[in-house]
Structure formats: structure tokens, C-alpha cells
């Protein structure tokens, strides 16, 4: 399938138009959910770190450091990809799957259009393109969530938190996670597209394919998280 997906487009202009539509549909429409989840998770992590670091022997900066590194290394890349697999992945499978069972894909083929390329390539490019931005948004709002929640709950003061998130900062962690988000973006778009494109039957099968796609995408994300962490971090 990938060979057909990356084949030369019939009309580049139409693919680019479709790409912008997908960036909006799959990417921009996901910003709100990323923002809300990140703020809450950032806040919750700050409270939990503060709770675990109550011992006065621990420096107060550990709360900010812990929140920051968890967000940068794991939450905003891997956990967010798992969440997006549910939102974007199921959307892709059900959209392409419905097109398959209602003969819209056959209709494209009869017109002489490479349906795999036209339907899937813009989605893959859009998701791979948008994922690093979602990652950055997630890290930023996660840290903001911690900064707001810390003083409100009395867990930590703002200066202590800001000191903490600047303490022992390793820029490579961001590079590492950006690489992960690119790989996860590809998985989140391509695996559900595969399941949708080859679905057979009716609405029931589209639903089943959607579930299968999300499960398989999640497993692949975790597998690649392990591989990339081993290859790039240790």
C-alpha cells in the first residue's frame, strides 16, 4: 500500500488543497483537546510531585524539574500520541472505511485516480507536520498548568516552580521527543489508514476496523517508544 501512497500524484494542486484541509481537520481541530489535557495533566503532576517531595531534605526545585521532564520526555510525545491515536486514528479509519464500503474509493479508481495516494498521503503528511506543533503546545500548556495549580493548591510557589523548570534542563530531551513525535505522527496516520482502506463489509465492519486500528496503533507507538528511547537516549 505504501508504494501506492507515495506514488507520483496525478495533480499536485489537488493534493496540496487536500493537505491543507487535513491539516485543519486533523491537526488544528485537535489543538483544543491537547490544550485542555495538557493543562490538567501538568497541574496534576505538579501536585503529585509536591506531595512526593514533602521531605524538607529534597530541594523544592525537584517539583518543577519532575513536571518538566515528564512532560518533555514522555507525556507530550508518547501519551499525547496515544490519545491522538484515539481521536485522529479512529477518525481516519472510519472516514476511509466508510468511503470504501460506500464505493467512493471505487469511484476514485474508476476516474483513474490513485485512491490510496489521494486519500492517505495528505493525511500522513498533515499529521507528521502537525505533531511536533502539538508536542510544543502540550509541553507549554502542561508547564503552565503546573504553574497555575501549584500556588492555588499551596503545593509550591511560582518562583520555586520557575526555578525548578529551569534546573538541569537538557535541550537534547526536546530534540529527542520531537523525533519521537514525527515517528508517532507517521504511525497515527498510516496504521488507521491501512485498516480503513482494506475494510470489507458495512458499518459494523468499519466500527470493528476502527477499534482494531486504534489498538494496533497504540501497540506500535509503545513499541517504537521503547526502540527510540533505547537508540537515542541511552
Q: Least distance in Å: CB of 189 to another protein?
A: 18
Q: Which three cell numbers stand for residue 203?
A: 458499518
Question: Which SS3 state, helix, strand or coil, does residue 9 take?
Answer: coil
CB of 48 or CB of 114, closer to another protein: 114
Residue with cell 507525556: 75
**What count of residues does the chain have?**
234
| Shorter beta-carbon distance to another protein: residue 59 or 202 | 202
Contact residues toward another protein (CB under 8 A) are 10-11, 14, 98-99, 102-104, 106-107, 109-113
**Between residues 2 and 103, which has the closer beta carbon with respect to another protein?**
103
Smallest gap from residue 110 Cβ to another protein (A): 4
Alpha-helical runs (H) found in 29-170? 31-52, 61-70, 80-84, 90-101, 104-110, 115-153, 158-166
Residue (115 or 190) nearer to another protein, CB = 115
Minimum CB separation from another protein for residue 52, in Å?
49
Task: Provide the 8-state DSSP code for 140.
Answer: H
Phi, psi of 59 (to 5 degrees): -65, 140
Q: How far is the CB of 105 from another protein (least distance, A)?
A: 9
Q: Is 113 helix (H, G, I), strand (E, B) or coil?
A: coil
Amino acid at each position: 500500500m505504501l508504494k501506492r501512497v507515495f506514488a507520483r500524484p496525478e495533480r499536485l494542486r489537488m493534493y496540496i488543497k487536500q493537505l491543507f484541509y487535513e491539516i485543519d481537520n486533523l491537526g488544528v481541530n485537535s489543538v483544543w483537546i491537547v490544550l485542555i489535557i495538557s493543562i490538567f495533566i501538568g497541574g496534576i503532576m505538579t501536585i503529585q510531585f509536591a506531595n512526593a517531595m514533602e521531605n524538607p531534605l529534597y530541594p523544592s526545585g525537584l517539583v518543577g524539574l519532575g513536571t518538566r521532564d515528564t512532560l518533555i520526555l514522555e507525556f507530550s510525545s508518547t501519551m499525547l500520541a496515544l490519545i491522538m491515536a484515539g481521536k485522529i486514528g479512529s477518525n481516519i479509519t472510519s472516514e476511509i472505511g466508510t468511503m470504501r464500503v460506500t464505493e467512493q474509493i471505487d469511484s476514485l479508481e474508476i476516474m483513474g485516480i490513485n485512491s490510496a495516494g489521494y486519500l492517505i498521503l495528505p493525511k500522513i503528511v498533515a499529521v507528521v507536520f502537525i505533531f511536533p506543533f502539538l508536542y510544543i503546545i502540550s509541553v507549554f500548556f502542561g508547564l503552565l498548568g503546573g504553574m497555575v495549580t501549584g500556588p492555588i493548591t499551596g503545593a509550591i510557589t511560582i518562583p520555586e516552580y520557575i526555578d525548578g523548570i529551569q534546573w538541569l534542563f537538557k535541550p537534547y530531551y526536546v530534540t529527542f521527543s520531537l523525533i519521537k513525535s514525527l515517528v508517532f505522527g507517521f504511525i497515527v496516520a498510516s496504521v488507521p489508514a491501512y485498516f480503513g482502506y482494506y475494510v470489507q463489509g458495512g458499518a459494523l465492519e468499519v466500527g470493528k476496523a476502527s477499534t482494531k486500528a486504534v489498538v494496533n496503533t497504540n501497540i506500535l507507538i509503545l513499541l517504537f517508544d521503547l526502540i527510540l528511547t533505547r537508540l537515542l537516549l541511552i
